[in-house]
Structure formats: C-alpha cells, structure tokens
Chains A and B, each alone.
Chain A
Amino acid sequence: MKKIVVFVLGPDRTGIIAAVSKTLFDQGCNLEDVSQTILQTEFVGIFIASMADNGNEDEVLSALRARIGSLGLFVHLRPVEEEPAAGVQTGEPFVITTIGTDRPGLMAGVTEILARYGANITSLKAVSRGEENHHEYIMMFEADIPSAVDLSAFRAALCGRAEELGLDISLQHREIFEELNRV
C-alpha cells in the first residue's frame, strides 16, 4: 500500500467532505486521517488516504477535479513523504499565548523567534476581537520546543520581542492546561 495526501481549499459550502470522501472511495482509496478547518468563509481540508501500490494518483486527482472543481474548490494531490520534513525535531509541548492591541506584523514578529529556536508549531489559533476602534488580538500557539533549547534564553527572546510589539506573552508547558481542564 502507498499513501497520498489530498488538499482541498476554497469557499465553504455544504457537501465538500461528502464529495471528496465518496470520490476517494470510488477510486479504491481508504481514508486514514482527515482534518478540516473553516476561517471566516474559507474551507481547508487535508485528507490522508492509502491506496493499492498499482493505483494511479493521476486518475484519483482527475476524478476529484471532475467532482468538486465545479464547486469552485482547488484540489492538490501528492504522495506522502515517508520521512518527516527536514528541521523538525522532537521536543516538549509548550503553549505560547499573546494578548495585545491588533496591528500588522504581530504574527510575523512572534513566529520569527519560534523559528529561530527551532520550535515547531503544532497548533495555532489567532482571534481578533473587540470594538470598532480597539481590536485585541489573541494568538495561541502550541509548539514543540526541542529539548536542546535553553528555555530561559528562549523565554528571554520571546519576552523581548513581545515587549517591542506591545504584547503580553506567556510561555507554559502544555501539561498545566491539561491538568487544569481535563479529568
């Protein structure tokens, strides 16, 4: 068996998952992992499926395009890489949260520090909320910080950047959130 990954993106509407999964089924693929998210009006879905070694990826892609292209959705398909992407190291899970007045450059400013220290973001949620003239921007990153990283240096770098950006920042081991909120 070999694995493929299918990316589907475009304006959200009902029936996208049904159409993709039916097409993959008809093409003899077995769905393994699926994740979807909706940001405002936009849909993104990632589907990992297995298929027979002699199966044809191009035929699967053509079938998908034929079925959902008319819905205004973009589809991309490629084989799954066996090795994890270069530069991703295992580490301990931390949660980084920032709160501050919304302005351009916040995400870029904070994530530049994360990238510099090799922290791999595993989950990210950012929300802007507030009234017309004052938007508070909250960013919540879950990131794996490599064990070799000096945590206090990383913390200092993060806090320094947060101060430049006018953000309140916190860096906490993920375990505390789980302990507090889950039985």
Chain B
Amino acid sequence: MLTEREIIATLDMLRNENLDVRTVTLGVSLFDCASDDAGRFIDRVRAKISRLAANFVDVCDEVGLRYGIPVVNKRISISPIAVAACAASPEEMIAIAVALDDLAAKLRIDFIGGFGALVEKGFTQGDRALIEALPEALAKTGRVCSSINVATTRAGINMDAVALMGRTIKQAAELTADRDGLGCAKLVVFANIPQDVPFMAGAYLGVGEPDAVINVGVSGPGVVKKAIDRARAANPGLDLGQLSEVIKRTAFKVTRVGELIGRQVAKKLDIPFGVADLSLAPTPNVGDSVGEIFQSLGLKSIGNPGSTAVLAMLNDAVKKGGIFASSHVGGLSGAFIPVSEDLHIAEAARKGHLSLEKLEAMTSVCSVGLDMVALPGDTSAATLAGIIADEMAIGVINSKATAARLIPVPGKKAGEMASFGGLLGEATIMNAPNDGGSDGFIALGGRIPAPVQSFKN
C-alpha cells in the first residue's frame, strides 16, 4: 500500500514542477546500409529506420500515458553519416539529409541526429564531403541535427577542423539568414563526444553501439528548484552540504522516472535499453529553468560571482543521485546551460549578468558547453574558431565532453534579440570580440597534441 505522502508528492512533481521525460531516443546503426551508390544507401536507410521506428512514437505516448509522465520528445540517433556514407559526394550528402528529414516527418520524429563526423585526428573523404554539405543541408532541412567531433583527450585538438567549423558555421548562418541563423542551432562542435547521447543537437549512435538501442534523457530542473525551495522554507538554516543532499535525492527520483519509461519503451519495441542521460535539461517554459536554481541557491542571477561554484555543486549532486537510480548511465549527464533554451539564462544574458567569458568558465564544470549562444552577425569565422578552440581545450584537458553551439545571427548586433522558435527559444545576442585578434592563431592549423594525463595541477 502506498502512503498518502508518496502519492501527493508524486502528483505535485507532475502537476506543478514540470516533471517529464525530455527525450526517448531510438538509436539506429546504419553501417549495414552502406553502399557506393547514394540512392541505394538512402533506400536502405529508409527501409531500416521505417521498420524499427514504425510504432516508436505511439509506444512512447502509450507508455507515457500509462505512467502519467509525458515523453516530451521522441527522437532518432543514427551512425555518423560521414562514416556510414563515406563514399558520398557533398551533393549526395545533401540528398541524404533531405531524405532523413522527410523520414523524420513521416515518422513524427522531431529531430534526427547523427548527420555528423568524427574528425579529431583528421578527415576522410566522407568527413570533408559531409562538412562541405552542412550549410545547405541544414538550410534545406528542419529536423536533421549534426555534431562534429573535432577533439578528444586521447587525440588532441584538430585545429584544421576547428578552423573549418568556424567557416562552416558562418556559411550555415548566412544560408538561414531569414531565420536568425537557425541552421547553426542544429549544428554542434564537440570534444570527447559520448557515443550514446540522447539529447540534440549532439545525438548520434557511436560505432561501438548495438544495431538498435533505446536511450533516454531525463529532465527536471523545475523539480530540483521546487525541492530546494521547499527544503529552505521548512528549514532556513540549511547549508550547501545539506542542500546538495536535497538535490541528490531529487535527481534520484527524476532519474528513476526516466529509467522506468525508457525500459518500458525498450521492452515494448523489443530493442535493448541503453543508458539514462542524467541531465538537467531546461526548456524556455516558465518553471523549467536551470538558471532559476541559481536563484534558489542564493545568487541574484546566474552569472553572478559564485555561479561556477553553484554549477559545479549542482552538476555533481545530479550525477550522484542519478547514478544510484539508474543501472546504466551515459550521454552527457549533468546540467545544461543553453542560453536561448532557458528563460532565466536568456534573461541573465539580456540584463548583462552573464557574459560569454563567464559562460565559458562555467562550462568547465558542467556537462556540455557554450550552448545556443547567439553572437553578432559580423563575428568572423576565425573568432568563432577561436571560441570553439577554447571550449575544446576545456574538454580535452579535463577529460570531459564539451561542445559549442554558436549562432552568429546575420545582420544583428550585440543586445538585439534572436528568435529560433519552439524549444530552441530566443536569446539576446552576446558581445563577442571582433578585432581579428584570433586570426593569426587559427591560421596556423595543425593539431594541438593530446595532453599528458598525469601531473594534474
């Protein structure tokens, strides 16, 4: 028999605190679809994904309804296309992206991720073709997401790839200038990308993964914030050690929900369950903000001095609670701080509490990186590459995933608003240096060697 308190507390999390499962992501390996003929590759991909995902959305909805927990997004991650379709030309890569977009629409999938490449040590022909195709592919499609891994702790940073991505991001922004550079919101540059990320835009299915797998991304910033508020109201004397315990317990509950839903979906589809990604993923909705948690922990705004420490504690507590709740943890696992996708972070940027530099500092302790950062349209490719290189260095040295999803908004300046629609939200454009100060460094190219992993100081 359940207790009254168990029932009422669970209902409160659902009704008032935005508890949901942010994404159930079906991973599909496309390696068995490989062909030297792009048309044949597309046919095989269409057949395989259609077969595996025919009932995917309905099953997610059915399981969500059964437990009263909405599965907000249903997504698909695929093998990196630069590997699976290595022989394709840039034009054929664009055709593949369009075919994936049509397929996603037909299957009612909101995003399909994996139109990407792994180039930390160098480029194959497929990598070059895919990256060349990216600006047009992202402009012509609405649901296709791309991640390019340019650095790892074991390989170092491919600075040729970093420079190329700076130029690619500029082109992607220009081709979607009428939508504030929306193409860039679906493109993320990574260091140490995990093979099983369920969240977009970084989702892809790594080469060591099974033929098909269900990964789940949990959410719950609203639940964590309310739990902290309740604990502090009940006992105003709580210190940070005690509050991190509150976060830990809450993360446990949130993760249990994700794990249960993911396993049930996997069971019904007869596909193995992979991992739960223990991330606090915000949305632009009221009461679903990571930024707001900073206020509950005593800061006036995210971005104030103390923010990096708060984020470090938050990230760690979420992991500690989540790891105990899940049998297999993976993906990014931590707190996200995407500027446009979080009401309070966007507000902090608008009011000037949060600068690009502070954001970068915070990414050294959180799970992703410079995420959904809108920059002035005239930010140069070399400056973008410099920002990416800094972010990659943080990941490579700290043996963690970091990423940059930068949007140089065409025709707009710092302080103006950029709007990307839906879950991608809107944000004030942040100031970025524009004095050509990074040009010489980026022009050097080559690969920054892998760092020593001992003598940590």
Contacts and interface: CB of A to CB of B under 8 A. Distances in A.
A140 B260 CA distance: 22
Interface string A52-88: 0000000000000000000000000000000000000
B4 interface: yes
Given A97-B7, A180-B10, A181-B9, A174 B256 contact: no
A179 interface: yes
B257 A127 contact: no
Contacts of A180: 6, 10, 13, 253, 256-257
Contacts, number: 57
Contacts of A95: 2, 7
A170 B68 contact: yes
Given A127-B4, A176-B257, A179-B257, A151 B66 contact: yes
Interface string A168-180: 0011111111111
Nearest to A155: B65
Interface in A94-125: 95, 97, 99, 122-123, 125
B257 A177 contact: no
B4 A173 contact: no
Contact of B6 (A127, A175, A181): A181
B452 interface: no
Nearest to A168: B15
Contacts of B260: 175-176, 179
A172 B66 contact: yes
A144 interface: no
B10 A176 contact: yes
A114 to B, nearest CB: 17
A173 B264 CA distance: 12
B2 A142 contact: yes
B213 to A, nearest CB: 21
Contact of B1 (A99, A142, A170): A142
A173 B66 contact: yes
Interface in A134-183: 138, 140, 142, 151-152, 155, 170-181
Contacts of B299: none
Nearest to A35: B1
A152 B11 CA distance: 20
Interface residues of A, number: 25
Nearest to B3: A181
Interface of chain A: mostly helix, strand, loop or mixed: strand
B43 to A, nearest CB: 36
Contacts of B13: 180
B231 interface: no
Contacts of A97: 7, 11
Given A151-B66, A171-B68, A172-B68, A177 B1 contact: no
Nearest to B63: A173
B109 interface: no
Contacts of A138: 8
Contacts of B7: 95, 97, 140, 177
Nearest to A140: B7
A182 to B, nearest CB: 8
B15 to A, nearest CB: 8
Given A127-B4, A142-B1, A179 B68 contact: no
Contacts of B14: 170
Given A172-B66, A172-B68, A175-B67, A140 B4 contact: yes
25 contacts: A97-B7, A99-B11, A122-B1, A123-B1, A123-B2, A127-B4, A140-B2, A140-B4, A140-B7, A142-B1, A170-B11, A172-B67, A172-B68, A174-B2, A175-B67, A176-B10, A176-B67, A176-B260, A177-B2, A177-B6, A179-B259, A180-B6, A180-B13, A181-B2, A181-B10
The 7 closest A-B pairs by CB, nearest first: A172-B68, A176-B67, A181-B6, A179-B256, A123-B1, A179-B260, A180-B253
